[in-house]
């Protein structure tokens, strides 16, 4: 007698064996070996219910909405002063990063005091993560503005300024990406690479942003899930920098 394969038994368990040309139920009932195998599958899949889902609080929906709602609106137009401050902060972080890299990573040939390399390296890591986190936040602001603006309101976007910001971010990103590649932080390097390509497209975008251009950009952002990746990575960076 030909026994049922594991795949056939799994399909039978889920009631999806109809149309397979085999009466799995009859076979299992009459075949001790397949019955034993089927029972084993039942036992294992039966205990999967142990994977409990925690109950959410009663006000879960309201809390969730309070996180979503502000992000459904286009960002407030008064971003310029904040942006200026953030650019300055980014420049300081980049400078600190460069120092940290040279002291903690790139110049390991100097034999300082015994515990110093660990401390230097940790400080370098922290600065790197802070700087990358800040960079990601600033990139996110540019992309959010584009993602959240209705294509019928394309004129609300200060497009020449947006392009300049994207261009600045591109020049900055290379340092972080190369550092991430150098330190083997490939997950970071991949996200930065994806982000870099999007920013490059924005920086080299048309002189005037048409609704169609914006729609295409938004589709690209959605398709790549780039904003989500940035948020996950940025949150990681902040946690790791603490």
Partner 1 sequence: MEPSDRALVTRARSGDPDAFRALVERHSRVVFRLAYRMTGNRQDAEDVVQEAFLRAYRQLGRFDERAGFGTWLYRISTNCALDTIRARRRRSENQAAAQPDGPDSLAQVPAHDPSPERSAWSAQLRGAVEDAMNELSPTERAAFVLRHFEGMRMEEVGRALQCRPGAAKHSVFRAVQKLRRALEPLVAPVRS
The residues of the shown chain that bind partner 1, judged by CB under 8 A, are: 6-7, 10-11, 14, 16, 40-41, 43-48, 50-54, 56, 60-61, 64-65, 67-69, 71-72, 147-148, 183-187, 190-191, 218, 222, 225, 228-229, 231-233, 235-236
* Closest approach of partner 1 to the CB of residue 68, in Å: 5
Instruction: Give the distance, in angstroms, between the CA of residue 65 and the centroid of all CA atoms in the same chain.
Output: 21
Residue closer to partner 1 by CB (options 123, 232) is 232
Residue closer to partner 1 by CB (options 134, 185) is 185
* Closest approach of partner 1 to the CB of residue 106, in Å: 17
Q: In degrees, to the nearest 5, what angle opens at C-alpha 55 toward C-alphas 50 and 60?
A: 150
Neighbours of 152 (CB within 10 A): 9
* Closest approach of partner 1 to the CB of residue 190, in Å: 7
Helices (H), 4-110: 6-13, 24-30, 32-46, 60-72, 80-100
Q: Residue 238 and residue 234: Cα distance in Å, rounded?
A: 6
Residue closer to partner 1 by CB (options 18, 88) is 18
* Closest approach of partner 1 to the CB of residue 184, in Å: 6
Q: Residue 81 and residue 79: Cα distance in Å, rounded?
A: 6
* Closest approach of partner 1 to the CB of residue 177, in Å: 15
Q: Residue 124 and residue 119: Cα distance in Å, rounded?
A: 8
Neighbours of 24 (CB within 10 A): 19
């Amino acid at each position: 007698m030909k026994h049922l394969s594991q795949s056939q038994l799994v399909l039978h368990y889920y009631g999806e064996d109809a149309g397979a040309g085999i009466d799995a139920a009859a076979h299992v009932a009459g075949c001790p070996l397949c019955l034993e195998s089927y029972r084993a599958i039942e036992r294992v899949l039966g205990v999967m219910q142990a994977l409990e889902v925690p109950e959410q609080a009663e006000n879960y929906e309201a809390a969730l909405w309070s996180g979503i709602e502000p992000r459904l609106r286009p960002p407030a137009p008064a971003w310029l002063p904040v942006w200026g401050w953030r650019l300055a902060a980014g420049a300081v972080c980049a400078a600190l990063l460069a120092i940290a890299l040279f002291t903690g990573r790139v110049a390991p040939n100097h034999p300082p005091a015994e515990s110093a390399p660990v401390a230097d390296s940790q400080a370098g890591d922290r600065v790197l993560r802070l700087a990358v986190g800040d960079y990601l936040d600033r990139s996110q602001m540019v992309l959010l503005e584009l993602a959240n603006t209705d294509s019928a309101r394309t004129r609300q976007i200060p497009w020449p300024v947006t392009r300049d910001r994207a261009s600045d971010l591109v020049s900055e990103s290379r340092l972080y990406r190369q550092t991430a590649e150098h330190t083997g932080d490939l997950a970071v390097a991949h996200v930065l690479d994806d982000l870099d390509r999007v920013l490059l497209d924005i920086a080299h975008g048309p002189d005037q942003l048409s609704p169609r251009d914006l729609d295409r950009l938004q589709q690209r952002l959605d398709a790549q899930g780039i904003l989500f990746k940035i948020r996950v990575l940025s949150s990681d960076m902040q946690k790791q920098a603490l």
